[in-house]
Amino acid sequence: MILFPNCKINLGLNIVKKRDDGYHDIETVFFPVHLKDSLEIIEKEKFEFSTSGFSIEGEQDKNLCIKAYDLLKKDFPQLPAVQMHLHKAIPMGAGLGGGSADGAFTLKLLNKKFELSLSEKQLIKYSLQLGSDCPFFILNKPCFATGRGEILEQTVLDLSEYKFLVVHAPIHISTAWAFSTIKPLKSVKPIKQIIQQSISTWKAELINDFEKPVFTKYPEIKNIKDKLYDAGAIYASMSGSGSAVYGIFKKENNISISFANNYFVKTLFS
């Protein structure tokens, strides 16, 4: 059985406060877009995990797909051994949530394939053990997110008239460093309100708090955003804590823009 975990972009990202547990409360809108990994699981006598596409850094046993399997295996000992293959097409460390999507989709795939009868609410509970933005990928619909990103409110947001140009420079940004640079402050106008306005107003009002420190340290990333606006983007922003930047364009627009050969550049749709 195969599923195709998709990525997300952040429409606005406000760091509201630092919590006593060391995490931060945020406000953002998670919006799914059609850049997808592929995940295949088949039953096997012995557990196996393999990957292709973009190389995955770090120890294999820390991969969220394996962690997702282990979570369910603990509560469902009848879950058989599987062979799992993950093909990575979503850049990692880009703020696009590819790893979180892979973990959440592993839960969904195992639930479906082996008829575990887990409800959406139960899947969300498991996914939160994998990461703060994993629950979003269980719902996989536009959501206003608060708390650590796990408190989700589905929102109506139709961007079908637009296309997205996603650009990822080969720059790794430490999420811990990015958070350490932020002085939390609740925005004057909530993202939830801004997102319902005309997209033409977003440039002036819809802000990602991480952009200021990231652009200061990595002007190359700011240059991407500037080039997207120069090419006619209605709205452009960094996603998450970076380093991917996206521009939103009218579907009929011909985008004339070029980047270095080692950049990841992809046109996507909602």
pLDDT in tens, 106-148: 999 999 999 999 999 999 999 999 999 999 999 999 999 999 9
Q: Coil, strand, or helix at residue 188?
A: coil
pLDDT per residue as tens digits for the range 229-258: 999 999 999 999 999 999 999 999 899 999
Domain boundary among 128, 154, 180: 154
* Statement to judge: residues 148 and 83 lie in one domain: yes
Contact 83, 42 (CB under 8 A): yes
What's the pLDDT score for residue 268?
Answer: 93
Please indicate whether residue 8 is annotated as part of the active site. Answer: yes
Do 144 and 79 belong together in one domain? yes
Strands 82-88 and 48-53: parallel
Same domain, 134 and 27: yes
Of 37, 102, 133, 209, the active-site residue reads 133
Residue pLDDT, tens place only, 155-184: 999 999 999 999 999 999 999 999 999 999
- Structural domains of the chain, count: 2
Residue 100 and residue 213 share a domain? no
Phi-psi region of 146 (alpha: psi -120 to 50; beta: other; left: phi over 0): beta
Q: Within this chain, do residues 129 and 187 fall inside the same structural domain, yes or no?
A: no
**Is the pLDDT confidence value at 42 over 90?**
yes
Query: Are the C-beta atoms of residues 245 and 224 closer than 8 Å to each other?
Result: yes
Q: What is the pLDDT of residue 212?
A: 97
Please, what is the angle between helix 98-113 and helix 120-128, to 10°? Answer: 140
Are 229 and 192 part of one and the same domain? yes
> Structural domain of residue 111, as residue ranges?
2-154
- Region 40-53: mean pLDDT is 97
Residues 9, 103: Cα–Cα separation, whole Å:
17
| pTM confidence score | 0.95
Residue 125 shares a structural domain with residue 232 = no
**pLDDT above 90: residue 192:** yes
Active site (annotated) includes residue 225? no
pLDDT range class, residue 58, cuts 50, 70, 90: confident
Three-state secondary-structure class, residue 47: coil
Q: Is the pLDDT of residue 2 over 90?
A: yes
- Domain end, chosen from 131, 154, 177, is at 154
Q: Give the angle subtended at the CA of 75 by the CAs of 71 and 76, to the nearest 5°.
A: 105
Q: Which of 154, 173, 205 is the last residue in one of the domains?
A: 154
Strand partners, 246: 166, 237
60-97, pLDDT tens digit by residue? 888 999 999 999 999 999 999 999 999 999 999 899 99
Encoding tokens for residue 238? 């960094």
> In which band, very low, low, confident or very high, does the pLDDT at 22 lie, cut at 50, 70 and 90?
confident
- Does 139 lie in the same domain as 41? yes
